[in-house]
Amino acid sequence: MNILLVLKTCLQIGVQIFLKLFNNNFRLIRGFCFSDEDKLHKISNKLVMAVSGESGDTSQFAEYIAKNIQLYKMRNGYELSPSAAANFTRRNLAEYLRSRTPYNVNLLLAGFDEQAGPELFFMDYLASMVKIPYAAHGYGGYFSLSIMDRYHNADMSEEEGYEVMKKCVQEAHRRLIVNLPNFKVQIINKDGIKDMPDITAKSIAIEEHGRS
Amino acid sequence: MATLIGRKRTSLTEKPTGWKAMVGVRGTDVVVLGVEKKSVAKLQEERTVRKICLLDDHVVMAFAGLTADARILINRAQIECQSHKLTVEDPVTLEYITRYIAGLKQKYTQSNGRRPFGISCLLAGFDYDGVPHLYQTEPSGIYYEWKANATGRSAKTVREFLEKYYSSEAVSTEKGTVKLAIRALLEVVQSGRKNLEIAVMRRGEPMQMLDADKIEEYVTEIEKEKEEEAEKKKQKK
């Protein structure tokens, strides 16, 4: 399988928006305005990190890791592999965990390695890390993991993967009490990072209508 | 003021003559850096001797002098490039990173127990707004911007050559700029074409090191032009 983990993206964003929405409500009451943030950080040419958690920590940590990965590339002339980058990230999280200023972030790191193929790493705020075929963070995950359990297999194509993502989003729309209409999707393969069409409530509704 | 650097006595303001020749030319759309490569011993692996290095995607540096000293400076500069991007979200401007390196060099001329960095650098690249720049720094910590410059061995000869042949038309194309740089280097390089390392920096694109065949092409073209010029001169007489 040479596609990667469009899967993870979906739910990550789900959570982020969920948290943000709640904050947003409070903020609206207080009169603050809410700007949108790209939660999918490009770490290097074939590495993407989706971060969720404490706002501020997320972008701070993601940017810090991204620049360190760039520094490695400049110093050594070649990029860090996805698993090396993931382990570096995890070590950073772990070191800050037992300090006065831990990072409260959950993340999914996806990358494509020339030898090992596509890889997905799941990391949480306690600096635990695991390499898995599909993952989710947050409340959206409670529904989506079962969907992915059922439909995922190791030799899926790009289109099939996108379809499973759509199914997960539909499930979140159906079951989750919070309204999360829009999802951003990215795919990483041997050619690098590419944006896929957003999965929005509107696009799903149009499709359903078209089918019926 | 003279300081002892290794076995060489060098003045902070006088450019050391034992170092390899190096040239930089700023064109309208490209900046070219060229260095004279030290001839590699038969049993030595060539790729470990690199005098042109990337500080960031848009900044390239060539140095002449003590390679070990350069390593330290390059390391600090690379960290500073990323740190700058992290704090202000913008890539460094050429002037900023030159000032940083120059400032670092100056520190070592004014503290106890330390000796100055024994290298002269040429920094080239494009700012975020697309304007090309070429800067030079010296062990004393001063920096200048140049349209075209040379340091290292026979710098004076090369600079005079550049002053004679540099014009905005000559460097308006990439080919013209590269040719000018190679011609300037060929004036002083002893072993000729085999020992040139040329780096081309284009706006918005990663640095490209010209491979040996490409350099060969340019050199043959230059030699042909030289012959034609010599012929014309003979005919005039």
* Number of domains composing chain A: 1
Write the burial class of residue A164 (CB in 10 Å: 0-12 exposed, 13-18 middle, 19+ buried).
Answer: buried
Residue at A141 is within a domain: yes
* Model pLDDT, residue A14: 31
The backbone torsions φ and ψ at residue B190, rounded to the nearest 5 degrees and listed phi first, read -70, -50
Ranges assigned E (strand) in chain B? 2-5, 8-11, 22-26, 30-36, 52-56, 59-65, 119-126, 132-137, 143-145, 148-151, 196-202, 208-209
B148-151 vs B143-145, strand pairing mode? unpaired
DSSP-assigned letter for residue B53 = E
Is A17's pLDDT higher than 50? no
Residue at B13 is within a domain: no
Residue at A67 is within a domain: yes
Higher per-residue confidence, A15 vs B103 = B103
Q: What percent of chain B has pLDDT over 90?
A: 58
Residue A92: closest CA among A119, A132, A63, A55: A63
CATH code, domain with A70: 3.60.20.10
Judge: A74–B75 Cβ closer than 8 Å, yes or no. no
Residue at B11 is within a domain: no
Is B11's pLDDT higher than 60? no
Nearest by CB: B54 against A64, A68, A74? A74
Of A4-8, A82-86, A155-159, B58-62, the one with minimum mean pLDDT is A4-8
Average of per-residue pLDDT across A24-43: 44
Mutate which: B71, B86, B87, vs A, most A CBs within 10 A: B86
> Which chain B residues are closer than 8 Å to A69 by Cβ?
none
**Chain B closest-CA separation from residue A65 CA (Å):** 10
Distances, alpha carbon B54 to alpha carbons A35, B48, B62, in Å: 36, 15, 9
Residue at B47 is within a domain: yes
Whether the CB-CB separation of B36 and B196 falls below 8 Å is answered with yes
User: A60: nearest CA in chain B?
Assistant: B86
CATH code, domain with B162: 3.60.20.10
Helix, coil or strand: residue B4: strand
* Model pLDDT, residue B226: 87
Q: Is B143 left (phi over 0), alpha (psi -120 to 50) or beta?
A: beta
| B124: containing domain | 22-236
**Chain A closest-CA separation from residue B89 CA (Å):** 10
Helix, coil or strand: residue A18: helix
> Which chain A residues are closer than 8 Å to B83 by Cβ?
67
Write the secondary structure of A28-50 as one string of H (helix), E (strand) and C (coil). Answer: HHHCCCCCCCCCEEEEECCEEEE
* Number of domains composing chain B: 1
Residue at A40 is within a domain: yes
Model pTM score:
0.80
- Secondary element (H or E) of residue A147: helix A140-151
The backbone torsions φ and ψ at residue B218, rounded to the nearest 5 degrees and listed phi first, read -60, -45
Confidence of residue A83 (pLDDT cuts 50, 70, 90): very high
Residue at A3 is within a domain: no
B81 vs A: CB within 8 A: yes
B73 vs A: CB within 8 A: no
| Nearest-angstrom CA–CA distance, B81 and B59 | 9
Judge: A67–B54 Cβ closer than 8 Å, yes or no. no
Q: Which positions ≥6 away from A191 have C-beta within 8 Å?
A: none
Judge: A70–B75 Cβ closer than 8 Å, yes or no. no
Helix, coil or strand: residue A130: strand
- Secondary element (H or E) of residue B71: helix B67-88
B222 vs A: CB within 8 A: no
Residue at B9 is within a domain: no
Whether the CB-CB separation of B120 and B63 falls below 8 Å is answered with yes
Mutate which: A63, A67, A68, A78, vs B, most B CBs within 10 A: A67
ipTM entry: 0.76
Residue at A152 is within a domain: yes
| A183: containing domain | 8-210
Residue at A1 is within a domain: no
User: B84: nearest CA in chain A?
Assistant: A67
What is the CB neighbour count within 10 angstroms for residue B44? Answer: 11
> Which chain B residues are closer than 8 Å to A63 by Cβ?
86
Residue at B16 is within a domain: no
Of B3-17, B40-54, B64-78, B144-158, the one with minimum mean pLDDT is B3-17
Residue at B122 is within a domain: yes
Radius of gyration of chain B (CA): 18
Residue at B12 is within a domain: no
Q: Is A72 left (phi over 0), alpha (psi -120 to 50) or beta?
A: alpha
Residue at B228 is within a domain: yes
What is the CB neighbour count within 10 angstroms for residue A162? Answer: 20
Whether the CB-CB separation of A9 and A50 falls below 8 Å is answered with yes
